[in-house]
A and B are shown apart, each in its own frame.
Chain A
Amino acid sequence: MTVEEMPMQEVASILSLADRLDGVPPAVKAGLLAGRKIALLFYESSTRTRTSFELAAKSLGATTTLVSDKSSSIEKGESLKDTGLTLRALGAECIILRHPASGAPFVLERACGLPVLNAGDGMHQHPSQALLDVRTILQRLHLAGRPVEANLLAGCTVAITGDIRHSRVARSNGMLLPRLGAKVLLCGPVELLPEEAASLGQEVEIVRDFESALARAQVVMMLRIQRERLAGLEFDLAAYIDRYQLTQERLARLAPNAVVLHPGPMIRGLEIEDEVADGPQSAIEQQVTNGIALREALLLRALGVEL
């Protein structure tokens, strides 16, 4: 539901399970959730997260069904509670939920009692994204396999830049990374980054100037401007691009060894330049690939299956 209350031991076991799953032969994997039913309930469009969860479930042998708000009784006004009860009555044992309303997974879990995996809820949380981001950071910083504990990322500074106000990815990472010892710099203009964002975690600091954040970072995470959530906010895009775009020039000058992450979808030419997105410092595709094993691990955990 949220990374906020996820015990460190859980984070550790999920990351280690994901690593081990990468080494399991497909045929063995396909038996792990054979005959199990998993519902994907998507109230918001998604490419990466939906496909990743779906492929993860299928590679474990589960039967999946996708219910989206556009082609279901949700359009006729069926509530989230009743949708959950219906999926449960159809035999779903776990529901993966993507929803535009913050906190929707709690409503669903309270209503149907099934394990709910939060695939992104409003501006609240995107736990599987934060976990796959950690996984990617550990791989890139050659820390994979080390014990996951409170000082694992000590000395590592992660600059999260962009539309933090509307970003569930920023919230999940801002809560999870400091617990692993990382320093998190939140960077953006005040319209997209309110002062209270610093309360996400202990080692979270607001840095308005992108270049000074960049100069301190080992990991740079860029976020998209969420036009769909701006809610009438007046915003000068040209000025934003000028101040906050991750350009090849800035990267080479200020953070030549930093790892570049983006949870997607990215808008090339806005928050990030082509050359950076496709360049050697980019771990963007690696993030996506890492998501599958990570979500396989989440599904096994949700359904109580051990490897």
Chain B
Amino acid sequence: MSDLLIIGGHVIDPASGLDQARDILLRDGLIAAVDQPGAFAQIAGTQIAGTQISGPQITGTQVFDAKGLIVAPGLIDLHVHLRDPGQTYKESIVTGTRAAAAGGFTSVVAMPNTLPVNDCPSTLAWMLDPARKPLVRLFAMPAATLGSLGLELTNFEALATGGARGFTDDGKPILDSALMRAALLRAGRLGLPVSQHAEDPRLSNGAVMNAGPMAFRLGLRGYPAEAEASIVERDLQLLRDLVPTEGVHAHLHVQHVSTALALQAIRRAKADGLHVTCEVAPHHFTLTDEAVGHFNTNAKMNPPLRSKDDRQALLQGLADGTVDCLATDHAPHARYEKEIEFERAPNGITGLETALGLALRVLHREHGIPLSRIVELMSTNPARIGKLSQAGTLAPGAWADLTLFDPAHEWTFDASASLSRSRNTPFDGAAMLGKVQATFVAGTRVNPAKLS
């Protein structure tokens, strides 16, 4: 593999404590060196042999001019639905990772609710086989229970050997407390998280949007905030009890936190030193349940868009560090599946191509969250949670996965130009800030649009 020099950019790598102008040398798919602007030009031809760098006039295809761009470790999404195997009319590994690359993601973690459910080593191996031709790094969290039925745990050890980044029944919670305890214990011993979809269906029977005045006006049944918080509280208690009884500091990852109530429980548990992490989806910090409007099924997802107060709490948690990372919950659906009665429409929206643009507009510009914190939320921390030790940083030796974006570029998202196979987004025509200019995976620039 050849070398590549990225010059003139502003490097933000919280893991290395960098937030300044730096040049980066990539070699053999890894970060070789990071140094002062122009440093590599000075040493060209001596220490770094064969890089074709000669003097300050750097030319050639192996140099990428990142002037005006933020150079960040590649973005990582711990929560995507690629619908492959089984529902490739919605999305496939190829189209989903194409959308990921366009959105600046260099690694994505696929949820297990495929057909068949990813609950055994053979399905996991099929999914992670390079023959699937993902455009970015593809990882998976297999199911925590067989068929995600919530009855019997899957073979965590074998799945871990096969590359599992954690275990989840995403889409539904592991409701049985004894089973959840066993899951946390086994995953904890493997050093992997149990990623929980926190919802008590006993409190959300027939719910299709957030409980509250808007749901009442629309005549729709609502998910109360308690349905989320009660499962989070229960799981945190299980986590707490495992320390003295089993001596295991298990890792609970709470998916797509949407309520102030659940976030508060997580904040307290973190203060108590429990190993809990959580993610927030861009739609939850951008929109409220008012966005359902006239029964817009592209504003329907689970957990649902919440109240103004919940959104404010999430923004607070994103700013103060309670929230560990952003995750899109990219959930493609075919047009005909969404063009039906609101209460019958499937949950979920696409999100890979709008995550960075929303994070920069809403979090950075509208709420003053620094870019370094956004990189932390979208790369540094998800790498840690997903145990991707060579990702989420630009330190020498790390994977040469980078996202280069123009932080000042204002643009409008056009769903019809999406690279996902589906178009179910509430952000068609929405203002975005920050445009991805290049995505590098293992030192090679990914061109999602050019793919045949």
- The listed residue with most B CB atoms (<10 A of its CB), out of A123, A168, A175, is A123
* CB under 8 Å from chain A, chain B span 290-321: 294-295
* CB under 8 Å from chain A, chain B span 199-226: 205-206, 211-213, 215-221
A183 interfacial by beta-carbon distance below 8 Å: no
User: Given B211, B217, B339, which contacts A107 in the complex, CB threshold below 8 Å?
Assistant: B339
Find out whether the CB atom of A231 lies under 8 angstroms from the CB atom of B220.
no
- Please give the distance in Å from B206's CB to the nearest CB on chain A: 5
User: Given B206, B219, B336, which contacts A171 in the complex, CB threshold below 8 Å?
Assistant: B219
Pick 7 A–B contacts, CB within 8 A, sort by A.
A81-B340, A102-B219, A103-B294, A103-B295, A171-B219, A199-B213, A199-B216
User: Given A101, A168, A199, which contacts B344 in the complex, CB threshold below 8 Å?
Assistant: A101
Assembled-state Cα–Cα distance A110/B206 (Å) = 25
Question: Given that A103-B295, A107-B295 are contacting pairs, would A168 and B341 also be in contact in the complex, using a CB cutoff of 8 Å?
Answer: no
Give the interface size bracket for B toward A. 20 to 34
Find out whether the CB atom of A122 lies under 8 angstroms from the CB atom of B219.
yes
Contacts of B342 in A (CB 8 A): 101-103, 107
Find out whether the CB atom of B216 lies under 8 angstroms from the CB atom of A197.
yes
Question: Of all chain B residues, which has the CB nearest A198?
Answer: B213
Find out whether the CB atom of B212 lies under 8 angstroms from the CB atom of A231.
no
Assembled-state Cα–Cα distance A278/B110 (Å) = 64
The 0/1 profile, CB within 8 Å of B marked 1, for residues 103-140 of chain A is: 11011001100000000011111000000000000000
B233 interfacial by beta-carbon distance below 8 Å: no
- Please give the distance in Å from B225's CB to the nearest CB on chain A: 13
Assembled-state Cα–Cα distance A94/B14 (Å) = 60
B406 interfacial by beta-carbon distance below 8 Å: no
User: Given A99, A197, A231, which contacts B341 in the complex, CB threshold below 8 Å?
Assistant: A99
A72 interfacial by beta-carbon distance below 8 Å: no
Question: Of all chain B residues, which has the CB nearest A110?
Answer: B339
A79 interfacial by beta-carbon distance below 8 Å: yes
Question: Of all chain B residues, which has the CB nearest A81?
Answer: B339
- Please give the distance in Å from B181's CB to the nearest CB on chain A: 28
Contacts of A200 in B (CB 8 A): 216-217
Assembled-state Cα–Cα distance A103/B218 (Å) = 7
Find out whether the CB atom of B219 lies under 8 angstroms from the CB atom of A106.
no
Question: Of all chain A residues, which has the CB nearest B213?
Answer: A199
Contacts of A101 in B (CB 8 A): 341-344
Assembled-state Cα–Cα distance A99/B342 (Å) = 12
Find out whether the CB atom of A122 lies under 8 angstroms from the CB atom of B340.
no
* CB under 8 Å from chain B, chain A span 73-105: 79-81, 99, 101-104
Contacts of B206 in A (CB 8 A): 231
Contacts of A4 in B (CB 8 A): 217
Contacts of A79 in B (CB 8 A): 336, 339-340
Find out whether the CB atom of B218 lies under 8 angstroms from the CB atom of A124.
yes
* CB under 8 Å from chain A, chain B span 325-377: 336, 339-344
Find out whether the CB atom of A102 lies under 8 angstroms from the CB atom of B339.
no
Contacts of A125 in B (CB 8 A): 219
Assembled-state Cα–Cα distance A40/B217 (Å) = 25
A232 interfacial by beta-carbon distance below 8 Å: yes
Find out whether the CB atom of A102 lies under 8 angstroms from the CB atom of B205.
no
Assembled-state Cα–Cα distance A99/B344 (Å) = 13
- Please give the distance in Å from B240's CB to the nearest CB on chain A: 33
Question: Of all chain A residues, which has the CB nearest B336?
Answer: A79
Assembled-state Cα–Cα distance A168/B218 (Å) = 9
Contacts of A102 in B (CB 8 A): 218-220, 295, 342-343
Question: What are the 7 tightest A-B residue pairs by CB atom distance, in nearest-first order?
Answer: A103-B295, A123-B219, A124-B219, A101-B341, A199-B213, A102-B219, A196-B213
Find out whether the CB atom of A107 lies under 8 angstroms from the CB atom of B341.
yes
Find out whether the CB atom of B339 lies under 8 angstroms from the CB atom of A111.
yes
A194 interfacial by beta-carbon distance below 8 Å: yes
Question: Given that A196-B212, A231-B206, A232-B205 are contacting pairs, would A171 and B341 also be in contact in the complex, using a CB cutoff of 8 Å?
Answer: no
Contacts of B340 in A (CB 8 A): 79-81, 107
Assembled-state Cα–Cα distance A42/B38 (Å) = 73
Assembled-state Cα–Cα distance A111/B216 (Å) = 25
- Please give the distance in Å from B224's CB to the nearest CB on chain A: 10
Find out whether the CB atom of B339 lies under 8 angstroms from the CB atom of A106.
no
Other 9 A-B pairs with CB < 8 A, given A103-B219, A107-B342, A196-B213: A80-B341, A101-B343, A103-B342, A111-B339, A121-B219, A122-B220, A124-B220, A199-B216, A200-B216
Assembled-state Cα–Cα distance A81/B341 (Å) = 9
User: Given B216, B339, B341, which contacts A196 in the complex, CB threshold below 8 Å?
Assistant: B216
- Please give the distance in Å from A67's CB to the nearest CB on chain B: 16
Question: Of all chain B residues, which has the CB nearest A168?
Answer: B219
Question: Of all chain A residues, which has the CB nearest B295?
Answer: A103
* CB under 8 Å from chain A, chain B span 212-257: 212-213, 215-221
Assembled-state Cα–Cα distance A175/B344 (Å) = 26
The 0/1 profile, CB within 8 Å of B marked 1, for residues 157-198 of chain A is: 000000000001001000100000000000000000010110
The 0/1 profile, CB within 8 Å of A marked 1, for residues 253-296 of chain B is: 00000000000000000000000000000000000000000110
Assembled-state Cα–Cα distance A111/B218 (Å) = 20
Assembled-state Cα–Cα distance A158/B323 (Å) = 48
Find out whether the CB atom of A123 lies under 8 angstroms from the CB atom of B339.
no
Contacts of A107 in B (CB 8 A): 295, 339-342
The 0/1 profile, CB within 8 Å of B marked 1, for residues 189-229 of chain A is: 00000101101100000000000000000000000000000
Contacts of B344 in A (CB 8 A): 101
- The listed residue with most B CB atoms (<10 A of its CB), out of A103, A111, A121, A200, is A103
Contacts of B215 in A (CB 8 A): 196
Question: Of all chain A residues, which has the CB nearest B220?
Answer: A102
- The listed residue with most A CB atoms (<10 A of its CB), out of B206, B215, B219, B340, is B219
Assembled-state Cα–Cα distance A4/B218 (Å) = 10
Contacts of B339 in A (CB 8 A): 79, 81, 107, 110-111
- Please give the distance in Å from B79's CB to the nearest CB on chain A: 28
